[in-house]
Amino acid sequence: MKKKHYIPWLSRIVRRDIKINVIRHGVSPLNWGDLYHWLLTISWSQFVALTAFLYTTTNTLFALLYLVGGDCIQNARRGSFLDVFFFSVQTLATIGYGAMYPRTTYANIVVSVEVLVGIVGVAIVTGLSFARFSLPRAKVLFSKVAVVTLFNGLPTLMFRVANERDNLIVEARIWVSLIRNEITTEGHQMRRFHDLNLVRKQTPAFALTWTVIHQIDEHSPLYGATTQTLVDEEIELVVTLTGLDETVSQTIHARHSFAAHNIFWNMRFVDIFAKTPDGQRCIDYTRFHDVTPAGLT
């Protein structure tokens, strides 16, 4: 029996998300009318850093207002920025006063405004944090490459998908579109989408792995294509998967794309299913992205 070969260096090819690498002129990177969406989509590190910056800035501004009021805080050292800053921290968080408290009408007015700002601020940050945590997210693994090989006598495009969670994605559906440059009869160049017909585009219960198959027949947009034509046309395969997460009962989606250099011809995926000595089935996800020449057995 011949030894199976695989190509581990393929694991270095990473294309997990679709990145629209286009310079947009005339569009503001931050639309204040869409601030909520922006706050939901920035990373957690950016969100925490922004919250800490606003928290520190707010307390600094109110500390300066207290300094303007002179000796308006009981037991605070006159002219001490640190004392009024920490007094502002206590006021903004409404945690109650210890030794320091407002002693003038001016200080009480500033305290009233700061308490209102604190209540609104805590409500906004709490709501945003909950919204970010509660966003339904899919944990779906796509193979880093796609292959074209013979399957039932026809050249066939294949790639793998796996559910990384230990649950079911109910009524999972998958769509695959080919994007490529085309020249119209008038000589205009444009990017066009072509939907690929799949052997199976939905499954009632997506639990483990799924090999997505598209047969390249005369009706396929890939019919007659070669590695060079795919590169020349700057093709991209866009994959979208949707389904219902049985745990949270919410619709989730995942997306991925394959560029021309991520499609390997006359290759096949390495088998990742096996049985343990006691007869149990197991899946080796460490070889999920590995491929081998189609002629090897």
Q: Annotate 153-168 with DSSP letters as a single string.
A: TEEEEEEEEEE-SSS-
- Whether pTM > 0.85 for this model: the answer is no
Asked if residue 252 lies in contact with residue 243, where contact means CB atoms within 8 angstroms, the answer is yes
**92-111 b/e (C-beta count within 10 Å ≥ 16 → b):** beeeeeeebbbeeeebeebb
Q: Which residues contact 43 (CB under 8 A, 6 or more apart)?
A: none
Residue (of 115, 49, 53) closest to 88 by Cα position = 115
pLDDT of residue 95: 85
107 has pLDDT over 60: yes
**Dihedrals φ, ψ of 278, to 5°?**
-90, 10
Q: pLDDT by residue (tens digit) across 160-218?
A: 999 888 888 999 999 999 998 888 888 788 888 999 999 999 988 888 899 999 999 98
pLDDT of residue 273: 83
The pLDDT of residue 16: 39
List of domains in the chain: 32-134 (1.10.287.70), 137-293 (2.60.40.1400)
> What does each C-alpha distance from 259 to 102, 179, 221, 230, 237 come to in angstroms?
65, 10, 15, 9, 6
Under DSSP, the state recorded for 9 is G
Higher pLDDT, 26 or 288: 288
Judged on CB neighbours under 10 Å (0-12, 13-18, 19+), 34 is exposed
Q: Report the C-alpha gap between 84 and 100 in whole angstroms.
A: 9
pLDDT in tens, 32-79: 567 888 898 889 999 999 999 999 999 999 999 999 988 899 888 888
Model pLDDT, residue 13: 37
Q: How many CA atoms lie within 13 A of 97 on its CB side?
A: 16
